Amino acid sequence: MKKIFFLLVCAINSVSLFAQPRVISGPMLGPVELRDAKIWVEVSPEVKAVALQYNKPGERAGKTIPYKGQLGNEFNPLTFTIGGLEINTTYEYRILIDGKPTLKSGQFTTKDLWQWRKPVPDFSFLTGSCSYFNQPEYDRPGTPYGKDSSIFSAMAKEKSAFMIWMGDAWYTREVDYYSEWGLWYRASHDRAIPALQGFLKAMPQLATWDDHDYGPNDIGKNYILKETSRNVFNSYFCNPSSGENGQGIYTMTSWGDADIFLLDDRWWRSADRMKDSVDGKPNPDKRMLGARQMDWLKNSLLFSTATFKIITVGSQVLNPVSPFDKWRDFPAEYQELMDFLAEYRINGVLFLTGDRHHSEIIKTDRPGSYPLYDITVSPLTSGTHTFSGVEKNNPYRVFGLDEKQNYARFSFSGPRGSRKLTVDFLGVKGENLGLWSVSEKELKTPQ
């Protein structure tokens, strides 16, 4: 009887300990600008109050921002926005739960005001796609699809300005597809993976989505839970903005002399099986971006004065021989963009894509203009792909990396007028798997 009583007490204490107010995942850095910064965290349902305290290193008196939103839900992701910061200044922060400081802390440095004052800065950012974490009870039978998650430890050691998640930051399963609760659960579960926590606060995190963190494989605008999916995405990432008028998640960010346009390839996407052409002409009804987003992209490119204009999208763009989904399979819209780039002589354009479970760089030439490059980076932790079939010896590929987990570092360097982009492909331990570079002058329309 005493033994049973002892075990019962231990069980009650264990449940009580598990139900203590706590941080479930994070903190994660969101965008850090000249005067403000965003910090994300998810807390347990038992939490009654959350606050963020911040100060400059060595300062005794910090400032505290209380969270004023609703708490006590089953899922409680929340974002703090700190305003009124000083330029090019480092700050420390910590999370407070129910008035008590936690060990959840970090630091960030605001951007420098270099324009009209200093040379264009050298900097780098990280990128990758396809992050799968195993959960055996819901995974498909057989060899686990998720691979070595220690890659995030290597990424956390990088001294980069930010990270761009290029889609499939988490993978919904069959049990999640048509469950609003399941969509929230999947994002919450995968965000809380221990291997991620150090990386999330190591640098600002920005993202776009692809099919698996949007919903079922290859789905587009017909997804019946797309509104919920958008709410989930915006609750687990804190991008600078998210589409317009409650539609889509596209946005952009700028750093140094690079403008990065994060596109949404799912919200307006026509079914992949819709005919590419009708009566021998490109089908105008088959679109990937949709008219509103395309209009935004065109105006953003015209407004941009950046040396490098990086158009990011979950699906590949240029690969002519890929048998899988790509922007070229939406020929009317694809050609609309190509014609626009040529007509307005838009310089410095590169495409950054994910999805494929291999990394490669595709080059396509354009008569009378500079060539376009599609830089694909994949996968982070999901299963890998092997070059085969028509893609095995792709004549458009100038760099290829298959059968390996990897991420990429995009580095920008050099004096104004002679800038250079170097892309390093890096493995699970941060080892170099390949390198490619292109100069500013190679991305200019001939005079």
The predicted-structure confidence for 20-32, as pLDDT tens digits, reads as follows: 999 999 999 999 9
Amino acid at 12: I
Backbone angles phi, psi at 318, to 5 degrees: -95, -25
Q: What is the pLDDT of residue 131?
A: 98
Q: How many CB atoms lie within 10 A of CB 174?
A: 13
* Residue 447: band (very low, low, confident or very high) from pLDDT cuts 50, 70, 90: confident
Q: Assess contact for 124 and 409: CB atoms under 8 A.
A: yes
Could you give the domains of the chain? 19-109 (2.60.40.10), 123-443 (3.60.21.70)
Q: Assess contact for 272 and 216: CB atoms under 8 A.
A: no
- Find where tokens 């687990």 sit: 236
* pLDDT above 90 coverage of the chain, percent: 95
Q: What is the pLDDT of residue 18?
A: 55
- Strand pairing of 308-313 and 258-262? parallel
Average pLDDT over residues 190-219: 98
Cα distances (angstroms) measured from residue 436 to each of 126, 409, 421 = 15, 11, 8
- pLDDT tens digit string along 399-443? 999 999 999 999 999 999 999 999 999 999 999 999 999 999 999
- pLDDT tens digit string along 86-135? 999 999 999 999 999 999 999 999 999 999 999 999 999 999 999 999 99
Q: Assess contact for 336 and 327: CB atoms under 8 A.
A: no
- Find where tokens 């008028």 sit: 245
What's the half-sphere exposure (Cβ side, CA atoms, 13 Å) at 98? 11
Q: Assess contact for 197 and 25: CB atoms under 8 A.
A: yes
pLDDT score of 6 more than 50: no
Q: With residue 401 as reference, give the H or E element that holds it.
A: strand 397-401
pLDDT score of 394 more than 80: yes
Cα distances (angstroms) measured from residue 19 to each of 13, 43, 168, 192, 420 = 10, 11, 31, 16, 52
Q: Assess contact for 285 and 441: CB atoms under 8 A.
A: no
Distance CA 46, CA 41 (A): 15
CA-closest candidate to residue 287, choices 302, 304, 275 = 275
pLDDT score of 14 more than 80: no
Largest CA distance in the chain: 91
Residue 421, beta-bridge partner list: 412, 438
Average pLDDT over residues 222-241: 98
Distance CA 419, CA 437 (A): 11
Distance CA 384, CA 358 (A): 6
For the chain, how big is the Rg over CA atoms in Å? 23
Rounded to two decimals, what is the model's pTM?
0.95
Who wins on pLDDT, 237 or 62?
237
